[in-house]
Structure 1
Amino acid sequence: MVAIVNALTPVLALILLGFIIKRSEFIPNSFWPSAEKLTYYLLMPATLIHSLAGKDIGSSPWFNILLTIWGAALASVVFVGLSWLTHRRMGGPVFTSLFQGGVRFNTFVALALAESLFGKEGLFLASLGAGFMILIVNVLTVSAFSVAVGSGGLDVRRISRDLMRNPLIWGCVLGIGLNISGLKLPVALDGSLVLLGKAAFPVGLLAVGAAYQAGNIVRHWQPIVASCGIQFFCKPVVAWWLAAATGLSGVAAGVAVLIFSVPTAPTAYILSRQMGGDHDSMAVIITIQTCLSFVTLPLTLWLLSS
């Protein structure tokens, strides 16, 4: 329980700080759109390149982890689609919040918990799984935005165009390309990426807090309930089943389930702002899921250990 509190408290603290800063008008309102743009186009791609380029797969059960991660991610898309069918009045922008709330995951919390619970081996396997997850989640999310916020139909050319010019996709492609090629980034360049990446998380959380409005809980209760059900029940169950089906066991299985048990990513808010989603509903989903995970994560880990 201590590990969970230590991992989640900084997340909530920064959201609260962003809320206070915005309401106190300590910083001009014009700061927040600029901060979001900086995070989206520079800080987030930097951390993706660094994290994906530096993974050494070695003798780990990487293929089984890949099958589990991608299988559970695709299953979460199906769950989101089924939820949308029961709420057909939900507009496209709000649907993107439901999508991100049910598909994305908080990398920071997952890695922190993996290290606290499973040590260095857990941290390595969680980093490997997060790398696989980051790539497919960004492709799926950008595609969802292209369909829901665009023409409302499956426009392959539009989706391809959005994928090609999305900085997060480029971060994933460059990171994986460097990993596969075996090329090492110069120490100075890698150090610069590390520093830029460290800024992405706090700036993103501050922006979430700045956008948070309590009234949005009632206004957007449907995507909140649906995304929480998918995030904290459906995904862990599917991940557990797939881990068993692919032969994962021990720490590898525990890490796979853990990745699909954490709340959604704070960076989902930045993506929502930049791609025309409903950022108000996204901010409240991130906040509610982070609060609920104080209860759901201990329960999931207890069931996993049993």
Structure 2
Amino acid sequence: MFETLVQMIALIACGVGWRFLRPGKLSPEQVRHGMTESVYYLFLPALVLVVLWRTPMGLDSLRISLLASAGIVFALALSGLVCRLCRMPARVVGAIMLASAFPNATYLGLPVLQTTFGDWARSIAIQYDLFAATPLLFTVGILVAQHFGEGENEAGFLSRLLRIPPLWAAIIGSGLNLLGVPLNSSLEIVLNLLGDTVIPLMLVALGLSLQWRSISVQQIPPLMLVSGIQLLLTPLLVWQLAKTMALEGDLLSAVVLEAAMPSMVLGLVLCDRFRLDTTLYALAVTVTTLLSLLSLPLWFGLV
């Protein structure tokens, strides 16, 4: 795990360095946007397709989806309850709930699991995200953002989900897998070449995404709440639930590590669209990402 974190920190630091040094004519936001768009529309779908096409599908896939969903719903409920008791402003509540509930399951979870456990663990991160976290983000997450935000209401959950390229790749890959369609060796080579670019691009883009703003005293309690739920309580719940489902060994460790990932970067899009507290959310991403470099080894050693 230590070697894994060193590699990740080095790649994230490249993104951070780019943000400060600003080489070339493009702004850090433009560079990050180009990276994330290419990953989202090309490289990640290729990786998802080849991984789920080759991965045996069974009850473990269902267990992963259920555990991920349980962790997200728990975090939404707990963070919402605490915010209500503390009578926080609506814009802050929405940002806290999204930051507490939705983990960076792919952009950080995928490289952590692959480098820690091997290529087989890529399917855990992909299933955790695409079979639970992403569908919940674009349904329940948008409902939360609408309720606490100020943007216009949006409808058509299904149409939004169908516009997610990695989700289409997951559906196609799982279908071909279940139908027993063989994977052509030439196609597999091409998909692997595309998929191999995902992890370095994701980590550099994550470094570019980190917001280095000063933290005010008023922001410390919300950030502590988000960090406590996202990095400690949710993985603890998922760990206990996973043991009742008879998960064990590396599979158990991989699922718990996925639950212990920091806040996902994609939530910034919802905060912007629905006028939630974007500054607080960006700080939550930065703080939980930095703290996760300490908490992830602890969870790995504990589980």
Q: State TM-score, norm by structure 1.
A: 0.76
Q: Where do residues 192-207 of structure 1 align in structure 2 (5 Å cutoff)?
A: 192-207=190-205
Alignment check: 8 A CA contact 2:79 2:100 kept: no
CA contact (8 A) 1:7 1:113 kept: yes
Offset, 1:55: 0.5
Q: Does residue 233 of structure 1 match 2:232?
A: yes
Q: Give unpaired runs (5+ residues) of structure 2.
A: none
Q: For 1:109, which of 109, 112, 115 is the aligned residue?
A: 112
Answering whether residue 145 of structure 2 is matched by residue 142 of structure 1, we say no
- The DSSP-based 3-state class of the residue aligned with 1:56 is coil
C-alpha deviations, 1:138-189, integer Å up to 9, x for none? 1011224533555869978432221121223223222222222222332233
1:110 and 1:97, CA in 2 relative to 1: closer, same or farther beyond 3 A? farther
Displacement of 1:54 in angstroms is 1.7
Task: Specify every segment of 5 or more residues in structure 1 that has no aligned partner in the other structure, as ranges.
Answer: 116-122
Quick check: 1:132 aligned with 2:135?
no
In structure 2, how many angstroms separate the alpha carbons of the residues matched to 1:207 and 1:144? 26
Q: Which residue of 1 aligns with 2:293?
A: 294
1:23 to 20, 23, 31: 20
Partner of 1:120: none
Equivalent position of 2:182 in the other structure? 184
SS in 2 for 1:292: helix
Query: Could you tell me whether the CA contact under 8 Å between 1:68 and 1:246 is conserved in 2?
Result: no
Answer with 218-227 or 192-201: which moved more. Answer: 218-227
Q: Does 1:32 align with 2:29?
A: no
Give the Cα separation in 1 of the matches to 2:219 and 2:187: 43
Cα distance in 2 between the residues matched to 1:38 and 1:200: 9
Matched letter for residue 169 of structure 2: G
Q: Secondary structure at the residue paired with 2:247?
A: coil
Amino acid at match of 1:13: A
1:248-274 per-position Cα deviation (integer Å, ceiling 9, x unaligned): 34444334333323445xxx4357459
RMSD of aligned alpha carbons: 3.5
The SS at the match of 1:91 is helix
State whether structure 2 residue 44 is matched by structure 1 residue 44. yes
One-letter amino acid of the structure 2 residue matched with residue 109 of structure 1? V
Supply the distance in 2 between the matched residues of 1:25 and 1:130 (Cα, whole angstroms): 32
Q: Which residue of 1 aligns with 2:169?
A: 171
| AA at the equivalent of 1:182 | G
Q: Residues 302 and 159 of structure 1: is their aligned pair in 2 closer, same or farther, counting only changes over 3 Å?
A: same
- Contact (CA 8 Å) 1:48, 1:175: kept in 2 or not? yes
Determine the C-alpha separation between the residues in 1 that align with 2:247 and 2:31.
46
CA 1:244 to 1:22, structure 2 compared with 1: closer, same or farther past 3 Å? Answer: closer
2:89 aligned counterpart, secondary structure: coil
The structure-2 alpha-carbon separation of the partners of 1:144 and 1:167, relative to structure 1 and needing over 3 Å to count, comes to farther
Q: CA deviation at 1:20?
A: 1.8
Alpha-carbon deviation of 1:241? 1.6
Cα 1:62–1:275 change in 2 (3 A) is same
Instruction: Spell out structure 1 runs of 4+ moving beyond 6 A.
Output: 153-156
Offset at residue 128 of structure 1 (A): 4.7
Distance 1:256 1:12 in 2: 22
Match of 1:11 in 2: 8
- 8 Å CA contact 1:232–1:261 kept in 2: the answer is yes
Query: Does structure 2 conserve the Cα–Cα contact (< 8 Å) formed by 1:98 and 1:224?
Result: no
What is the aligned counterpart of 1:160 among 151, 155, 158?
158
TM-superposed CA distance for 1:78, in Å, is 3.1
Aligned length: 288
